[in-house]
Amino acid sequence: MDETKKILFKKTLLTSLLLIGISQLTICQNRTIIELTDNWKFKKGTNKEAFQPSFDDSKWEQVTVPHDWAIYGPFDKEIDKQMVAIIQNGEEIASEKTGRTGALPHIGEAWYRNQFILPELDKNKKVILLFEGAMSEPKVFLNGKKIGEWNYGYNYFYFDITDDLSKKGKNTLAVHLNNSPESSRWYPGAGLYRKVKIIIKNDVSIAQWGTFITTPYVTDTLAKVNIKTKVNGTGLNLVTDITDLNGNVINSGESSAIFGDEIEFNIPLKNPALWSPETPNLYKAVSKLYKNDTLVDIVETRFGVREIKYEANVGFSLNGVNRKFKGVCLHHDLGPLGTAINRSALKRQLLILKDMGVDAIRSSHNMPSFEQLELCDELGFMFLAESFDEWAQPKVKNGYNRFYQTDVEKDLVNLIHATRNHPCIVMWSSGNEVSDQWSAEGVKQAKRLQEIFHREDPTRPVTVGMDQVENTLANGFGAVLDIPGLNYRLHLYEDAYEKFPQAFILGSETASTVSSRGIYKFPVEKAAMKQYDDFQSSSYDLEYCSWSNVPDDDFVLQDDKPWVMGEFVWTGFDYLGEPTPYDEKWPSRSSYFGICDLAGIPKDRYYLYRSRWNKQEETLHILPHWNWEGREGEKTPVFVYSNYDSAELFVNGKSMGIQTKNNQSPQNRYRLMWMDVKYEPGTLKVIAFDKNGNPKAEKEIQTAGKPYQIVLQPDRTELKANGEDLSFVTVSVVDNKGIPCPTATDQLNFQVKGKGLFRAVCNGDPTSLEMFHEPTMKLFSGKLVVLVQSGKETGEIDLTVTGKGLKSEKLVLTAVP
């Protein structure tokens, strides 16, 4: 195609797409990527004729993709009600579970339809249709013809649709989805919850996900960058430039030697800028494919230069430095947004975790989104990329076990090929607490899946999160893994270290401490599966599950055992579904495990982890709040989470004594605790000391009066005018002296005007049945979070929050280009 035709093609393509509402378009020389964001029609139900181009969808709901149809509710305990004994929880007798999958209407069939126009394409063009995730069992039709299907809702997949495109220009894409009951252990979401893209390229081109970049030799002065590129065609020449992110070329490689369908070469980098959580430096490989000196394709691939090692008795090293994972597990839902992927929501999560000192993420128990991996590359998080929660043996009736035998290899290949260039990924997981741990066949499957990972990516090790540790010690399951991952079972760490040949242990899932933000229960004591009449858990951080423990127990092993490689805490944020310990109690419908609540507001536990993990910032946090009308004169223990080893507590100026961290118990080692404080309203103050006894920091909290005024605190005041950017505004109330009211439950109302819209609201209460998309909600423990979304025009966005008897508050945000 000559330059004149190329320019004409681009202009025609852009005009055609704008006419039908395509909002994202990337045009590079010889390759065009289109995001099918707008112009989608959606209808829940069977609609058996909806695949036909002539089908009348005029009365269907118009939506944008990514889209989660179920997050709009309502909550209903009859949805996916399961009679089940949860083996992972040690249950032997089945009982009714009403909130296990979030009590949101994700069960059932639905259709999505989209009509798009492509200009007449050159006969040498190829068109790829890419789905980054579809929940679930998608069947895809184009112009009335079924072009393919894919069973696993968490995977990425694509089809070559070149021969199925309409010759007349307009194309009708229809996608059928089906979520079966009892197909998940948590809220899986529903719909086209990740992006859908069209890729137009030349027939002679670089294969989809065909670039594989590794750095097999890394020093401070020199790195070897190995690049393998799969190509389609003969007589080709590949030139790859390594650039910084500003496009400055650092070095280049060139080859026309094709072995099979692959071109490989090594490019040296002098004085490389290494990737790590502390220095997330990135490069770009710009691969240019030529045929007979004509440029036919360009693919840009971000990567990082880093070295990972796993050694017996040493554990994990990154760039030659031994370190332990300070990690958290994350489910894929984004609280009030459901599972619909949103980059700004993901970034907010990661920045909150970064401040806590987290340096690693485990995707649980599913394949991660591209956006999450891109952000982890950019912000500096190591990543444990997980694949499945089930193999051949079921945990739920209609789970992945139905597809395991036929699909597992292709699912893994897509995961690996699509994501293996991300420097953040330092480990793969082929499964989590799979029931196959028990059997000899399961040992064979563990080895088989690990070999698939090694074949497709020889550079990273593989783990499985094991909960049946005694069994895996006996049958060899744990011994075949690159990395034995232990989910809980702290009492078996020593046995596992002695008997497993790897000579190190990963805490692949730890703690499962439960708490409700701002809720405190008395007496204060350690307890497993403790329940209360209000279906909340105490934020003294001493309550846990029957199979798990409090954070301090893990801290001891992390600090005292060099062969323990670190931990991934369950979980960084609360998520929809799995409301343990209230699985059988309605209206509990979301988890209590989170270090942050469902709205993303840190719980007290956040500061316990921060005091250990964030070495750059000071931590000094007091709990509980100091509003206890009716408890005057009663013992109300006070805890302080701090990176300082000692502190003195004062109640209304009277000293309660100095506490110093010690080894009397795990709690005394990591927390400062005054167990005999008697409540009296007023001021609670703490002064922290350094190792020499010098005062270094102080903090106080006060008893608040009645709620008087609303306070708004946005995480950002400028939004991109792209129709999807978000500002998360924390809403609280204060008394007439400006003191926060920690027990307020006022009903608030939200109004957004200008160049944006009200997107959602969440208060973090795991028992609330108020819908996230309605512009009203009660405060929970004095706070909630409002999500304001930009439109596609620049200008001011006004948020006004009101409540009966409260002084209202207004916030002005700005949508910018």
Report the catalytic residues: 433, 509
Angle at 41 between CA 37 and CA 43, to 5 degrees: 130
Length of the chain, in residues: 817
Strands (E), 40-122: 40-44, 61-63, 82-84, 95-97, 108-117
DSSP state of 15: H
Q: How many CB atoms lie within 10 A of CB 617?
A: 11
Residue at 29: amino acid letter = Q
Environment class of residue 21 by beta-carbon count within 10 Å: exposed (0-12), middle (13-18) or buried (19+)? middle
Instruction: Give the end-to-end CA distance of the chain in Å, rounded to a whole number.
Output: 34
Strand-pairing partners, residue 730, are 713, 785
Q: How many CB atoms lie within 10 A of CB 32?
A: 21
What's the CA dihedral at 472, 473, 479, 483 to 10 degrees? 70
DSSP state of 703: -
Q: What are phi and psi of 66, to 5 degrees?
A: -70, 145
Look up residue 21 and give its two tokens. 């509402």
In the chain, the largest separation of any two C-alpha atoms, in whole Å, equals: 88
Q: Where are the alpha helices (DSSP H) in 573-651?
A: 604-613
How far apart are alpha carbons 684 and 702 in whole angstroms?
6
How far apart are alpha carbons 590 and 101 in whole angstroms?
8
How far apart are alpha carbons 213 and 304 in whole angstroms?
9
Q: Checking phi first, is residue 646 left (phi over 0); if not, alpha (psi -120 to 50) or beta?
A: beta
Q: How many CB atoms lie within 10 A of CB 352?
A: 20
Strands (E), 51-185: 61-63, 82-84, 95-97, 108-117, 125-131, 139-142, 145-149, 157-160, 170-179
Look up residue 783 and give its two tokens. 């706070």
Q: What are phi and psi of 15, to 5 degrees?
A: -60, -45
How far apart are alpha carbons 386 and 541 in whole angstroms?
28
How far apart are alpha carbons 231 and 205 in whole angstroms?
6
Q: Could you tell me the CA-to-CA distances from 37 to 33, 41, 193, 567 in Å, in that order?
A: 12, 11, 11, 38
Burial call 312-329: b when 16+ CB within 10 Å, e when fewer: eeebbebbeeebbbbbbb
> Containing H/E element for 810?
strand 809-816
Quickly list DSSP for 20-48: TT--EEEEETTEEEEE--SSEEEEES--T
Look up residue 413 and give its two tokens. 């290949």
What's the CA dihedral at 379, 384, 385, 390 to 10 degrees? -150
Environment class of residue 56 by beta-carbon count within 10 Å: exposed (0-12), middle (13-18) or buried (19+)? exposed
Q: Is there a contact between 102 and 81 (Cβ–Cβ < 8 Å)?
A: no
Q: Is there a contact between 778 and 748 (Cβ–Cβ < 8 Å)?
A: yes
DSSP state of 378: H
How far apart are alpha carbons 134 and 482 in whole angstroms?
31
How far apart are alpha carbons 288 and 1 in whole angstroms?
16
Q: Could you tell me the CA-to-CA distances from 668 to 554, 574, 687, 698 in Å, in that order?
A: 14, 27, 18, 20
